[in-house]
Copies of this chain bind each other. A is one copy, B any other.
Amino acid sequence: MTPAPDPPEPEPRTHSRRVGRRPGGADTRGTVLAAARAEFAAHGYQKASMRGIARAAGVDPALLHHYFGSKDRLFLAVLDFPLDPRAVVGQIVAGERSQVGERIARFVLTLWDDPGVRDRLLAVLRGAAGSEEIAAMLRGFVAGELVARIAEGLELPQPELRVELALSQIIGLAMARYVIAVEPVASAPADELVPLLGPTLQRYLIGD
């Protein structure tokens, strides 16, 4: 429901993505993303640094910060990831604690109803399944940006394992519903799935 806004294009005054000069042209964006991808793959999300990526791309670190803001946003741009985890976590953590499982289930299923968002999330999932490089990038990101933030926001005991089990159910649902696409789960309406999934997520996160 809150797709991440695309980071601003370098040189926003021109509408052509193919025209541009360093620093700041559209080709710089491509160069930066390629360098970032290589650095994330080589060192993992957590050890890759904005400084190292800027050096590999041959741009000033200040430019990198100016256009992508932070390492997590740069990472999302590399994966073409359609969500801003900070906004997602904010939505999940806010509201009744006793309803968090159902809230997440509803949120995820509503999100996937948007084919554009769904396709980009599935591309990340397929990428991770097909490439240890992408899996390794995702690993550090999931642990550092998603799991840790949710655990902290919900003030969970034994936090990481429980958040990851909730995440495993969400990933597995995406695989069953959209990748293997076996019926009836492939076509079941959200209203039928939320009451079944909500208690699972609730129990993992908050406990019985």
Q: Count the A residues whose beta carbon is within 8 Å of the partner chain — how many?
A: 42
Check B188 against A161 for contact (C-beta < 8 Å): yes
What is the interface of chain A mostly: helix, strand, loop, or mixed?
Answer: helix
Closest-CB distance, A6 to chain B (whole angstroms): 25
A-B contacts, 26 listed (Cβ < 8 Å): A125-B175, A129-B129, A129-B175, A129-B179, A130-B130, A135-B179, A135-B181, A138-B180, A139-B180, A142-B182, A147-B182, A160-B184, A161-B196, A164-B184, A165-B196, A167-B172, A168-B169, A168-B185, A169-B200, A170-B172, A171-B172, A171-B175, A172-B172, A172-B175, A200-B200, A200-B203
CA distance A148 to B8 in the complex (A): 50
Quick check: is A126 within 8 A (CB to CB) of the other chain? yes
Q: CA of A90 to CA of B96 in the docked complex: distance in angstroms? A: 42
| CB of A65 within 8 Å of the partner chain | no
Cβ distance A166 to chain B, nearest Cβ, rounded Å: 10
Q: Mark A141-161, 1 if CB is under 8 A from B, else 0.
A: 011000100000000000011
CB distance from A177 to the nearest CB of B (A): 7
Distance between Cα atoms of A6 and B138 in the complex (Å): 36
- List chain B residues, Cβ under 8 A from A164: 176, 182, 184-185
Having A135-B181, A139-B181, one finds 9 other A-B pairs with CB under 8 Å, namely: A128-B180, A139-B180, A160-B185, A164-B185, A165-B197, A169-B172, A170-B172, A171-B175, A172-B173
